[in-house]
Amino acid sequence: MRKFYQTPAKLFILTLCSFLSAGIWQDFNGKFEARVPPSYPPVTVTSVTEYTPLLGQAVKFTASKENGAAVIVIEGRSNLEEVDTLAFFCRTDTSCEMEIALADSRSITAFENIKNYLPDQTLTRQWQKAEIPLVNREININDLRKIYVQLLPAEDGEITLYLDDITLEKAEKIKPSYQIVYNFDNDTKSIYAVLPEINTRNASIALAVESQNHYGAQGKSLQCSFETRENPAEIFFPLKNPKPKKNTDLTPIKTSLALRSEYPLTLTLIPETGEDHKKLSFGEARKVRQYQITLREPTWQKLTLPLLLNGGADYYYGLRVIIPAQTSGVFYLDDLSLN
């Protein structure tokens, strides 16, 4: 049996008992059990609802650096015949390193740094989605029992870790084409010459293309200046080709984009299908899945959202961005894509 790496400092061990259901290992929205074994220092477990990556609750773990590094042991019993990727959202309030190891009933892999599976290549104060492949591991992935997450503090004070929506997913064997529908390098129109639709509800909203805060090495981005009143405002980005050509259009499974804000801002993103768009008007309660994205630092955040489609590309219509009521500021959006 392979032993996992242990730092000279004393370790915290936190066990989460979870159950696999429809791909969800733990979403922390209902009851969950967190236990600290006897003789180990305490770890504070808190449910949080603010600045969560998706609607619902996330969990926050807090420990003291004086007591050593922290190891969180997440337990479960998995049937991985149809999945090959472990995914979860994570962030921190402090400067720390995060490592992960996987275990079946007989052995455990060596720890490796989680930054290898994060878009920013480091654990940050912003939510990021880690996607960890389960193939070619020195364990039986059909018998995955435990996930070890080890936090190594880089400075004095508390160690904090936020986790949400731990899932087991299946990577696509054949990846679809990647198509940037809005790159904003020339104007605000999409590649299909379609403009974003704005529903201000008495808010002040101005869209402009600008070159100082672009995403990537070159190009331009969309700048949105806003001041909302008692109601939220909406910007809808049509992503579907209004005149599709038979057997040539992309069949998307995800939409991706980059967002940036100079000050903390929470936006609600809704990937809408054509049927959803026909049935809904502004202000109605939406039963489609919504994503609350909080921009906490003035850096670009790349996001990828799944599309819950009932069919092929004909069902996908666009992305709706909801700006909260009674707020003002500026945010930037770039490279709104289908993939």
**Are the beta carbons of 168 and 85 closer than 8 angstroms?**
yes
- In terms of Cβ atoms closer than 10 Å to its own Cβ (0-12, 13-18, 19+), residue 72 is buried
Intra-chain end-to-end CA distance of the chain, in Å: 41
The angle at the Cα of 221, spanning 216 to 225, to the nearest 5 degrees, equals 140
pLDDT for residue 174? 44
pLDDT for residue 296? 80
pLDDT for residue 242? 64
Per-domain boundaries in the chain:
12-169, 179-338
**Cα 243 to Cα 249: distance, rounded to the nearest angstrom:** 10
pLDDT for residue 53? 72
CATH classification for the domain delimited by 12-169, as one of 3.50.50.60, 3.40.50.300, 2.60.120.260, 3.30.70.980? 2.60.120.260
Q: Are strands 70-75 and 12-17 parallel, antiparallel or unpaired?
A: parallel
- In terms of Cβ atoms closer than 10 Å to its own Cβ (0-12, 13-18, 19+), residue 296 is middle
pLDDT for residue 274? 63
Q: How many residues does the chain have?
A: 339
The fold of 179-338 is Jelly Rolls (2.60.120)
Which pair of tokens denotes residue 246? 């038979």
Q: What are phi and psi of 254, to 5 degrees?
A: -145, 160
Residue burial 32-47, b: 16+ Cβ < 10 Å; e: rest: beeebeeebeebebee
pLDDT for residue 70? 72
pLDDT tens over the chain, length 339 residues: 333 333 333 444 455 544 333 367 777 777 776 666 566 667 788 888 877 776 678 888 887 777 767 777 777 666 656 778 888 888 888 878 888 888 888 888 888 888 888 877 888 888 888 888 887 788 877 777 788 877 777 766 688 888 888 877 776 554 445 678 898 988 888 888 889 989 888 899 999 998 887 787 678 899 999 999 999 999 999 887 666 555 444 556 678 888 989 888 999 998 877 655 555 554 454 556 788 888 887 888 888 887 765 544 455 678 999 999 999 999 999 989 887
